[in-house]
Amino acid sequence: MRRNVLIPPHDLPGVLYSPPHSSALVIFAHGSGSSRLSPRNVFVAEKLVERGLACLLFDLLTPEEAEDRRNVFDIRLLAQRVGDALRWVQGQDRLAHLSIGLFGASTGAAAALVAACEAPTTIAAVVSRGGRPDLAGDALGRVKAPSLLIVGGLDEDVLALNREALAIMQCEARLEIVPGATHLFEEPGALEEVVTLAGAWFLRHASQKPA
């Protein structure tokens, strides 16, 4: 089941995928210059739905905010929007019982980690795809949710930043490198590998709410 939704208080447009009998919901936080219509995130979401996970993709910025490039790197603002989506989910009768995971890409990964830090009893797992966890700042060492960092093997600068971030994190955390993949995972089979890794992580950690 797929339906369009609006996330208050800014009426941010989103798309909710809700397969029957799902036990967990994954909220997506896209990266710089992207939106709920990101082909890569849509592909990942649809494949996660096939694994029984509900997914929510939404725009983190209003059209006016998106015109200011600085907002794309305002991690605090983006994390607040993830929090808005989380509160909306918790207010939906059909969704409130679900365990919650966060899937972040690029700068959205930092926003997901900050949001997870601020909701430690709510967020069950985090996955970062080609993300910038380093931009989460002081929150990085305070994240409690099990976190998976997925990086392309040829994305050397981002890979180095993820290794540094992993060394700071105090929660259960793992770095997975997709061989031969660049930043956008455009190589044949690369995004499918992201789905495999992310799906397994969410199904393992987001099958029940955090303690």
Please give the average per-residue pLDDT across 172-188, as a whole number: 97
52 φ/ψ sector (left φ>0, alpha ψ -120 to 50, else beta): left
44: left (phi over 0), alpha (psi -120 to 50) or beta: alpha
Question: Does residue 210 carry a pLDDT above 70?
Answer: no
3-class SS letters over 23-40 = CEEEEEECCCCCCCCCHH
- Ordered by where they begin, the domains of the chain are 2-205 (3.40.50.1820)
Percent of the chain with pLDDT over 70: 97
More confident residue, 34 or 156: 156
| In the predicted structure, residue 211 carries a pLDDT above the cut 80 | no
β-pair partners for 42: none
Res. 23 pLDDT band, cuts 50 70 90: confident
Question: Is the model's pLDDT at 12 over the cut of 80?
Answer: yes
pLDDT classification of 114: cutoffs 50, 70, 90: very high
Per-residue pLDDT at 209 exceeds 80: no
Average pLDDT over residues 46-51: 96
pLDDT for 80 = 96
Look-up of token digits 């971030």: 165
- For residues 92-102, give the mean pLDDT: 94
Residue with tokens 């929660």: 171
Region of poorest pLDDT, from 38-47, 78-87, 113-122, 124-133 = 38-47
Segment 108-137 mean pLDDT: 96
Percent of the chain that is helix, strand, coil (3-state, to 5) = 40, 25, 35
The pLDDT of residue 67: 85
DSSP tag of 146: -
